[in-house]
Amino acid sequence: MSNLITVQNLTLKFRTDEGLITAVEDVSFRLRKGEVIGLVGESGSGKSVTAKALMHLNAKNAVYSPESKIILHTDEGDVDVLSLRKAKDMKVVRGGAISMIFQEPMASFAPAISIGKQMVEQLMLHSDMSKEQARKHSIEMLDRVGISDPHKRVDQFAFELSGGMRQRAMIAMALSTKPKLLIADEPTTALDVTIQAQVIDLMKNLVTEFDMGIIFITHDLGVVAQTADYVSVMYLGRLIEKGPVREVIRDPRHPYTQGLIAALPKLDDLENPLLPIPGDIPSPLERPPGCVFNTRCSKIVGDACMSVLPPDIKVNPVHRVACHIYKDEGVA
Amino acid sequence: MSDDTLISARGLSVGFSIGKGLFDKRILKAVDNVDIDIQSGSFFGLVGESGSGKTTLGRAFLKAVTITGGSATYKDGEVEYDLTTLNGAKLKDFRKRAQLIFQDPYAALSPRMTVRDIIAEPLEVMGLTSSREETDERVREIAAKCRLNLEHLRRFPHAFSGGQRQRISIARALVSGPKFVVADESVAALDVSIQADVLNLLKELQRDLGITFLFISHDLSVVAHTCDHVAVMYLGRLVESATTRQLFEAPRHPYTKALFSAIPSLDPDDEKSAQKLEGEIPSPTNQPPGCKFHTRCPFVIDKCKAEEPVLEHADGTGHEVACHRWVELMEQKAL
């Protein structure tokens, strides 16, 4: 499979009144066509900021380190995302080759413009369709994502649709330009479980149908297990573990990943009490030295945890973990 | 209704007027004809999708919305109140006994008050303490129970994380010494690693202070872990009610079963064999006739479309269900 996007040593800080705040630090990953990567972490872990960086969508006060590289591989050649300066050039990463769907579909649609008008508008921007073609294509897309009566729905406004319907419309809109990469930022968090299951099924089918890559951002490991091929776990801006979804969930190596899985209420085990991870994620203003997880870790192995950044250790060729417990090759 | 029932409702309904003019008398029934008994000291779970009426039912028990039909009583050993008519001094007394913990700890705390003032406010408003020293004493006591540091009391909410803020909200709700607390989606806004901590705290408080919790949630796995009794709502009706064990081992209502199978499993190879629900919950302004669930139910027959099932206390186990076909479906092992 060919590569779709490569992220190398992405480090991103925000300039604020209180100084530079590190949001993402030294994150590298790549995504191939037809793959789904789950990006997991709690609030403040930097997962949304990472995704926005792929579209060059972070606020003006964002400072990228010189080593940071994001390369989008398209049929027309490679695009160095972070070097894009003009709005005209950014079209390719904003709705062209990359589309994004957000958590709150109500906030993503303009409230006073009909769904159809918004879909047509972006199609006219990103393709050479005529208005009639664009409208026809929009109706087709609405039909594809399972919206009944697409001819009627296309002229409705976002507030007239239910939550699940709105998220479907959002997906239809994001996919209508045939992007190579879809970034889904907590797309099912605001939905009820029964609707969430429907949307997950829909997205799974669309990956195969459109042969695109998806970056699925979520805090819900269950959702990741059901959708992703690979999972990357983030904590305080750092990627602390990554690998194939089965391996990471069945055999988590990082104490944080282990803690996340243990804290999850499971239906097949109602007897044992829930095991929280003690403490809170530290404020980005007070990043601990050494391993970023050392303020909450129950498996501290020595001074190294407190002072030395743990290296990326290969559990096997595809599963990596950043933790001092393990030594390269000698992983138990 | 047994002696240790704290809240008891019969045929409880809550309607909101949605008419647009003088002669438009349309009513939206958010809660419709609900029978429910909440045992004293229990951790009672209320589940359902958005629009099922679970929040409205919780607020009806707190007298935060007007009960428009049926009866509801509160009885805690010292007092007995009829919630439909409660007012004046008795209502004031009831406010001390019944409290609410909100969903979003970021919106629930005033950013301009210190944590101490936030927790002390209910005491001052209700006039429960006579001096500042006594107030401080009570605040410190409850803060310690909710695992807050005393030095936190001087700070403002913005300095705290989600989990700490939720503990502040809990302390504020509990400072007046309530017997009954409604926790409305109180962990929904928290990260999993913190969520477990707040759930354990609520359980601890229930045991130590003898508080009865009504725990409203859309998350079945959270409910399974914390509650001892669960009621499932759909479109304003109670469709199933049982002890947690009964409900999770053998759900009787197709809707409950569908809710279970919709939970994403941690096992990537677990292809859900059970049926997935089609469609969405109908609008409460335009309710279907017969069983409210028949538009999405995979087992629907003609009877379901015409006749509304009532909550049956079928076999003496206390496991109640409102479905025409549950016996049949259980025998066929369709659920």
Q: Name the residue among B49, B163, B225 with its Cβ closest to that of A270.
A: B225
Residue A2 has a pLDDT of 84
A216: buried, middle or exposed (CB in 10 Å: 19+, 13-18, 0-12)? buried
Say how far residue B218 (Cα) sits from the centre of its chain.
10
C-alpha closest to that of A197 among B279, B313, B60, B45: B279
In chain A, residues 278-317 whose CB comes closer than 8 Å to chain B: 278, 280-281
- Is B115 domain-assigned? yes
Averaged pLDDT, B280-300: 88
CB contact under 8 A, B259 and A245: no
Q: Please state which of the ranges B15-29, B189-203, B242-256 shows the lowest mean pLDDT.
A: B15-29
Instruction: Establish, for the pair of chains A and B, how many residue pairs have beta carbons separated by less than 8 Å.
Output: 123
Provide the residue range defining the domain that includes B65: 5-251
Q: Please state which of the ranges A188-192, B130-134, B272-276 shows the lowest mean pLDDT.
A: B272-276
- Is B328 domain-assigned? no
CB contact under 8 A, B265 and A222: yes
**pLDDT score of A94 more than 90:** no
Q: Please state which of the ranges A286-290, B210-214, B277-281 shows the lowest mean pLDDT.
A: B277-281
**Beta-sheet pairing, B212-217 with B43-47:** parallel
Q: What's the number of domains chain B is made of?
A: 1
Flag whether residue B127 sits within 8 Å of chain A, measured between CB atoms. Answer: no
Residue A265 has a pLDDT of 86
Residue B314 has a pLDDT of 65
> Residue B181 carries which side chain, given as an amino acid letter?
V
% of chain A exceeding 90 in pLDDT: 47
Residue B275 has a pLDDT of 59
Residue B3 has a pLDDT of 67
Give the gap in angstroms from C-alpha A308 to the nearest C-alpha of chain B.
25
Residue A281 has a pLDDT of 82
Residue B26 has a pLDDT of 83
Residue B266 has a pLDDT of 85
Flag whether residue B281 sits within 8 Å of chain A, measured between CB atoms. Answer: yes
Backbone angles phi, psi at A285, to 5 degrees: -75, -20
C-alpha closest to that of A144 among A96, A214, A99, A205: A205
CATH number at residue B221: 3.40.50.300
- B296-326 pLDDT, tens per residue? 998 999 999 999 998 887 667 789 999 999 9
Q: Name the residue among B248, B263, B268 with its Cβ closest to that of A193.
A: B263
Flag whether residue B200 sits within 8 Å of chain A, measured between CB atoms. Answer: yes
Give the gap in angstroms from C-alpha A56 to the nearest C-alpha of chain B.
27
Rounded Cα distance between B333 and B66, Å, is 42
Give the ipTM. Answer: 0.80
Q: Name the residue among A266, A267, A276 with its Cβ closest to that of B197.
A: A276
- Is B279 domain-assigned? no
Q: Is the dihedral of CA A198, A203, A204, A205 positive or negative?
A: positive
Residue A331 has a pLDDT of 47
Q: CA B313, B318, B320, B326: dihedral to nearest 10 degrees?
A: -90
Averaged pLDDT, A54-78: 90
**Structural domains of chain A, with CATH:** 3-112+157-321 (3.40.50.300)
Give the gap in angstroms from C-alpha B92 to the nearest C-alpha of chain A.
36
**Beta-sheet pairing, A181-185 with A98-101:** parallel
CB contact under 8 A, A225 and B221: no
CB contact under 8 A, B225 and A261: no
Flag whether residue B244 sits within 8 Å of chain A, measured between CB atoms. Answer: yes
- B84-126 pLDDT, tens per residue? 999 999 999 999 999 999 888 888 999 999 999 999 999 999 9
CB contact under 8 A, B221 and A274: no
**pLDDT score of B329 more than 60:** yes
A33, A2 in Cβ contact below 8 A? yes
Flag whether residue B17 sits within 8 Å of chain A, measured between CB atoms. Answer: no
Residues sharing a CB contact under 8 Å with residue B159, sequence separation 6 or more, in sequence order: none
Flag whether residue B285 sits within 8 Å of chain A, measured between CB atoms. Answer: no
Residue B277 has a pLDDT of 81
Give the gap in angstroms from C-alpha B111 to the nearest C-alpha of chain A.
18
Averaged pLDDT, B211-215: 95
Give contacts of A249 with chain B, Cβ < 8 Å.
Answer: 266-268
Q: Residue A50: pLDDT band by 50, 70, 90 thresholds?
A: very high
Q: Residue A332: pLDDT band by 50, 70, 90 thresholds?
A: very low
Residue A329 has a pLDDT of 53
